[in-house]
Amino acid sequence: MEPSDYKHVALGLIFLKHICDRFETRQRELAEEYPEGVEDSDEYTAENVFWSPTGGAVVAPASQRQAADHWQAD
């Protein structure tokens, strides 16, 4: 694999991070303003935010993210 090919992987990860951050921000806003709308995909798409259903692969629960942050390979 050429070193220049890594840009495709890096850009994909940057995009994934961006949509995850936007989703979490919108989710917090909805939790404060309109708790019933947290699971409504229309509340996210109305603000051009990629929606991930509960248990979706895009956004992991905070407890899982924290555990993954502390994981170290042997």
Q: What is the pLDDT of residues 1-58, one digit of tens each?
A: 788 888 888 999 999 899 989 999 999 999 999 988 888 889 999 998 988 776 555 5
Indicate the helix (H) or strand (E) that contains 32: helix 6-33
According to the model, what pLDDT value does residue 64 have? 57
What DSSP designation does 37 have? G
What DSSP designation does 35 have? G
Indicate the helix (H) or strand (E) that contains 41: helix 41-45
The full set of domain ranges for the chain reads 3-69
Look at residues 29, 31, 18 and name the one whose alpha carbon lies nearest to residue 59.
18
Q: In 10 A of CB 29, how many CB atoms?
A: 15
